[in-house]
Structure 1
Amino acid sequence: MFIDSNKYEAAVRELLSGKGKKYLAVAFWGKGAEALLSEYFNHEVKIICNLTSGGTNPEVIKHIRKNIPNIHDVRQLDNLHAKVLIGEDSAIIGSANLSSNGLCLEGSELQGWEEAGYRVSDPEQLKKISEWYSRMWNASSSISNEDIEASRQKWKQRRGLRPTNTTQTGRSFSLTSFSPKEMEDREIYIVIYREDISDEARLAYQNYERNLTKKSTLQKSNIPPIYEDWPQLPKSAQLIDIFYGKRGGISCHGVYTRIHEMKFKHKDGSKGHLCICRKDLQIMGLSFNTTEMASFAKALKPHIETIWGSPYAIGDTGKYISYANALRIVTNNPLQVR
């Protein structure tokens, strides 16, 4: 029997609620899967997942292993991409993962994605499916706490690169191009500072560039953003650079990514630290040039004081905040730590 998107969840629930043991080989798992399985705690369940590729939320697997008593065993298979659920008298073979997929979508983010599957009840076909599952089970391995920990970073990276369902009619990025939910878990931050770098920091960078390129940097405009004594700034993330003046004015200098760090000495002999950045031309695939920078600063200005004082803005002399949490302030949505 063919199953379309409108009937997929109901078909899965029906299979899980049926009598007998359940055998699941579903590659990728996300939020909501643990709640779904816990509803059917009277039936023994075995699970094979793909934990190492970054498409599975490790917190969900951790919860399933620890808190759902009917889960007989959860194992991992690195090259698993199948989505097969086997009950006593039927099986479902389809495209849908359990609440998440290889694109790292979760919850409401799955809306608009079409899924399809097929329910099999023919005994001969069920036998072949069960034999296939046995082979996958024998090829799989147990999951340790170390495996869960190792998968967290991969999940975070894949989650940050997930696609969005938002259709962009323009070609440029603005403060509210995306919703807080769409920006959640993405490695994009707003960096706000009120003081320029010191002369020692500027000189240290000029010496660094001179040694690197064999050319002298004389003009301030030629020096990219250098964040001084701010080593905790997120690495491998895009940083939207905002200068917040003493009189309340703000300006946006672009979006940057850390590429290097170096140490130098202040005049008093104390050690200094520089985060050296490259300039990016896009955010989320959308243009972010001089015009967009000015518009971004203008739209951000009414909210800058609230963002600066937010408990989710990290730092003392300067602040950085995840873009998702900044958007929650701008759109009056509840904040959460990311």
Structure 2
Amino acid sequence: MQPLFLTDDSVHKIRSITEAAGLKKFAVAFWGQGAANQLGISKANGAECRILCDLFSGACNPKEMQGLLDLGCEIKTIDGLHSKIYCSHSQVVIGSSNASSNGLATSGKYFSGNVEANVLIEETSFLERVHRWFDEYWELPAARRVTSALVLEAKPIWLKNAAMHRQFAAGLLTQLRQQSKLIKAIKARVIFYTGEGGSTSAQNTFNKHGRIQYSDAEWRLLGNEIPYYEDWDGWNVQPGEVFLDFGCSKPKGRATFYGIWRVRKEPFIQVGKSKTHRIVLLDQLTDINGYRVTADDQREMERAIDLYMKADAKRWEADRHGDFVDKSFADFWRDLILPASSS
């Protein structure tokens, strides 16, 4: 059977997966009220359902999660999971639909939820690959088993998210303009430098000693990103510190957003015999304390950096660590974003 493109009928096809015999695997980030009922998960088949979600995203309804546990489902949570995969032994649906009232809504004359699109695939080798992917993430040390106690722990995050009216819908800068006090919650540094690439010795050190500290699943999530900074001279950086990372491809070039990065718990690896030359291992994040940096945010911050650098040629004289800008987010907001907004 050729892949089948699904729009309005997605929920019906997903229900057919739930109703199939044998183990079902759902790698679906967000679960809203009524999801189990819409998907056909019940006492009769709950014990055959394994669920991967992001419980601490603020988008998993605690009542629904407890209901899934009561139905016998096995559930694990992975921070940052964003997939939408519904799989049985013979079919898989992959697409945009979360297990929520918006994601699983059907539409008649008018849409009652989000506009979703999915694909149903039955090809054997593709199914085998999906199962291997799921099983690998299921066994990750970072995949925490969801219990009733963990659901209660995550409930305040869900309540806060609900009170903020879809925290993930608006970008970081928009929310800061609406609630200036949120600046205290953004514990991050903003750096800007010439992204000319690291030294060969640092790359060799990472390949030999750093790469093995990342699981295959973590490595795949990184794509082509290289998850470390190179430090030559005692850069003041601490485990757990978060960076909004900007660079330019050539001297005096335009700023480009390179992502959000957090320093690992045991991040430092010495390069060669030098006491000061080291690499700093990183994990890539999708948000800062739940606040997304949207494409609009990225463009606005890039523009702010460009204006800031253009205003004074001396700012292109990098500090001893190679950075043109290294500021707390609060200082970045005050010194770059606000002036750029009024220009």
TM-score by length of 1: 0.43
TM-score by length of 2: 0.42
Question: Based on CA coordinates, which of the two structures has the bigger radius of gyration?
Answer: 1
